[in-house]
Structures are given as C-alpha cells and as structure tokens.
Amino acid sequence: MNDVQKPAAQDAAVRETATRLRVGIGAFRRRTQETMSEGDLTVPQLTALARLDRLGPATTAELARREQITPQAMGATIAGLEQRGLVARQADSADGRRMILSLTPAGQAAIGSGRSALVDRVAGVLAESFTDEEIATLDAAARLLERLAQRL
C-alpha cells in the first residue's frame, strides 16, 4: 500500500467505526426508552437532571448548549420537570432577567432512583451475558464515548 492509499484506507476504517457507533448507540438508546414504563422520566429529563446534579444550578440556555439542543427543546424538557416538582426556577441575583434552575429535594431523589433503575437493568444484563473481559472493554469504551461526546 502506498502513502496515498494508506490515508484513504484509514479514513474508510474511521468512517466504518463512526457508523457502527451511531448504529450501536442508537439501538441502545431505543432499547432503554422501550423498557421505560409509563410515568418514568424520559432520557432527556434524566439527562437534564443529571447535568444539574453534576454541574449545579444553571440556566435553560446553558443546559441546552451542553446537550447541543435548542433552548426551546430544553425548555419543554424543563417544563415537564417543573410540573413534577423536580426543578425550581429562581431569579439570578446578578441579572434578574435570567432564571437559574436547580434541583429540588424531589429532583435529587428522582435522579438517584431514575439512574439506578436503568443502571440496575444494564448491570444485570452485563453480569448475565458478558465476560469480565468484555465488561472491562465496555468500561473502557464508555469512557471513550464520554470523551467523544464532549468533543462533538
């Protein structure tokens, strides 16, 4: 293989990996959404709660930027969380026009229970169907996926 062919082959392999990731992650997301029961928090709601849990109080616009979605889409997600009493809005003391979102005690409880229900299910499948080596590989892949998501 000459120097011109080598980058083209590497590019094709990288594109193939990107496609497998898109398909695999999409299937994983669909399956987790299918297993949710009525009244469970949606994936976007859990994600917004998790962000507030990890990063602390934030505006709707900040959350939308972090998730790379429109402020309107995040606003709809936040509205659902507010209706359930899981987040609260408070005027920003530095800029009264801005509203700061924070978790309520019920939101803190929901993030723990919502996260553990899905995590428990995934952990059960991993323990039943995967070897220790495969679990270690998935752990390494999960860390890389987090890094990839931050860079997109």
Structure tokens at 49: 């709660």
30: pLDDT confidence band, cut at 50, 70 and 90?
confident
Distance CA 98, CA 64 (A): 15
The amino acid sitting at 20 is R
Mean pLDDT, residues 46-58 taken together: 91
38: pLDDT confidence band, cut at 50, 70 and 90?
low
Ranges of each domain in the chain: 1-34, 40-151
Residue 114 pLDDT exceeds 90: no
Residue of higher predicted confidence among 57 and 4:
57
Q: Report, at the CATH architecture level, how domain 40-151 is classified.
A: Orthogonal Bundle (1.10)
This prediction's pTM: 0.60
